[in-house]
Structure 1
Amino acid sequence: MTQGADAPTAVAPLLALLQLERRAREAQSVEALGFVMANETLSLVPYRQAAVWLESGLGQVSAVSGLPQVDPNAPYLQWLTQLCRGLAHAHADTTPVDAGAAPAKTSADWADWLPAHALWLPLKDQLGRRDGALLLAREAPFTEHELAVLAEVTHAYGHALAAFRPAQPLGQRLKAMLRPGRTRRRVLLGLLVVCLIPMRLTVLAPAEVSARDPFLVRAPLDGVIERVYVQPNQPVPQGAPLFSLDTVALQTRRAVAERAYDTAQETYRQSAQMAVTDDESRLKMAQTRGELDQKALELDYTARQLARVQVKAEREGVAVFGDVNDWQGKAVTIGEKVLLLADPAKVELTAQMPVAEQVSIQAGDTITFYPDANPTQAFDARIISVSYAAAETDGGVLAYRVRASFAAKDLPRLGLRGTARLSAGWVPFLYHALRRPLTVARQWIGI
């Protein structure tokens, strides 16, 4: 019967401890947590007075047992604040305190405000940083058993109080990490390792699949394109018509040339008849003969020009140009480029490496092409040549022209656009990260 009667008595302190820890975790504010610490700790350990000290700012008493709110101007609170400041400066761990161990400025008035014995209980977080303290006071000293129980409950109080700590600014966190000690050495060692990680120096450049050794189709003479017979990217057999020029002007010139030839021929015939009896007409016949030959040449030239107004494909291939409407009805000059005839099986990659992103590459290096039409596909190509001088692209950017041949048998479609990744040598991560800022700084500073 004795053991059954003592069991609830032995379990009661444990239940009180668990209830206090739960109340501390459920506190919605620092004020609510301070009220729990100052008043409800009494259910675990008897005391007459309690005060909660917070380290924020210069330090302040935030809660006192028996009072719903604290008045910082009250004499008791002013004395208690001075006492806690001295204890916080002198003691970092749990320490019994009395009038003799109190700070000099507060020991004389100890008997007026507190009982003979007190206990200073710092409230720390998981890292051992102190956010405040709990001060308990009574007439009798605290026993070893009570100190052990208070150590457990103040550990829970410290954990709950740390949850209300405002987020520390990034600068302060970095400053704390770089304080002399093991943590700083680890951080600096980690930064050094990260800075020395080797990385491939790469740059991204716009690229397009272009024809290799295409056949250039030019305008055969000055005129206006009357009709285009093919569509962009259309396969064209050899001898098929590509486009034709307007023949109105040439037909008129041919008609004039024919009339001039007929006139010269009649003049020559008359001079030949008169040359039989007249020596002077014999001399004139040679002149008219020359004029007849000249008109014959002009007529032949005009006829040959009419035969060239329709341009045909000299070899098979795919017609490469922009749009039919861009050329139909457009005036062209002799030798002006109209379209290309390309072989789909003979393609290469043309990339435009911006001058601002220039890296050291050379013929034989490998680049990777990522087409915009299929983001999951990639093609490897080997650099054939890099232009010596930069030229302005269609987008108004100065860039070096890089030509590369595809290594795989599965070639991309002609005219496909995308992004090429140009890779140079291996460099430390620090150089890779600071390369662009250093380039801009040199341009401004001039070093």
Structure 2
Amino acid sequence: MTKELWVKNGLVFTEEGFREVNIKIMDGKIDSLEKAEPIGECIDAAGCLVVPGFIDSHVHFNDPGRTDWEGVETGSRAAAMGGTTTIFDMPLNCSPSITSLQNLLEKKEYLRGLSHVDYALWGGMTETNLDKRSDLGQMSKGIIAWKAFMSESGIDDFQFVSPDGLTKGMQAAKEQNKILALHAEWDEEITRLTAFYQYRAGMDERRAFLASRPIAAEEKAVSFCLELAAKYGTAIHIVHISSAKVAFLIEQAKKSGVNVTVETCPHYLIFDEEDFIQKGAILKCAPPLRSKDDVEGLWDCIKNGMIDTIGSDHSPCLASMKSTTSIWEAWGGIQGVQFTWLALMDEALKRKIDLKRILPLGAFNVAERFGIAARKGRICPGLDADLVLIRLNETTIADKKSFGFRNPFSPYENREFSLKIKKTILRGKVIYDDQKGVTKEKFGLCL
């Protein structure tokens, strides 16, 4: 039976910018954008911006195996509350990691019916599976892209790739026509500096941690993988860069013809190293937070079109894993999937940056890069009706009671945002309403 639904009276973000049009939805797809007054079932978006559902290409929901850290049910609930309608789940922090075809198939089966939002899965390239080319080839058919680390991942069954291993990974990804995403920090330098700073007498432990992972370690790793990508013609995606210095390296490579895109995260745009020194483990991540100048430099990169995507890098854990006596032992990861777009849009509005520049970083740019633009990322006839209704004249306070993720702590706690997500719509179904909460039904499908 054909189901028709309208979203009316909103200011709709289209390929031509914001327009006062009504959205006709048929069977979960956008049918048309019309000026005419709709007849039939309607969602009234008066006073709201209507934007594409956000696509978060970088989350760790830790399912299966570490559901006490998060889990797809709670992670996707938080995502829906933050306006995200599609996530790409990383191949590590679940247990076992997704480094074999068997693990991938078992995870896909396990996740059926658990997610509030649509999802895709990353596959993991590690030093231990790079020679299993047949298995990797089969895996490549069922993943959104590959992920590899150039430094220790913190997960025992997800080993980082050596420089020689990365060469093999680049070749395999090119043969499969898959993107290879990289955590780009140079392991040898981090290992050396950690050994130097970890037990340095008289030095503040938090400052020592920052010193152990300098921007130079990012620059060296990025330079190396850009050279390999240029040599083999591999499509690569550098995740969670923390500094404009790294973005400039990537921009130069783009201009020379390297097939590379770059992601940063909201925490590198909202917090800085002084916040980490003050608050400690709750803001520990890798690469670490940088200086205020680096934060401003990244915003300049966004203004100049040098950043391609934004991902939350939601990396949850138990509260006890942050409450350690030593910063070195604390888990490195930030819980933020629920607040990524509230924080970014709030900050952009404060900086008088047009949302037309910000929104594609979490919608069309992600969909286009990862090959799902025929379904996701725009408000356009024929695409999935994934929509977010946002009101700019209401505020949101990140109250702990409102957290959708499993373990209720976050560096965003008590932060006030000058906007509110009123509804999140997935393929024509309202999955979150600010008055009713997240639906009990889970409509998320694997892409």
- TM-score computed with the length of structure 2 as normaliser: 0.17
In the superposition, the TM-score normalised over structure 1's length comes to: 0.17
Q: Which has the higher helix share?
A: 1
Higher RCO, 1 or 2 (CA under 8 Å, sep at least 6)?
2
The structure carrying a bigger strand percent of its residues is 1
Larger Cα-atom Rg: 1
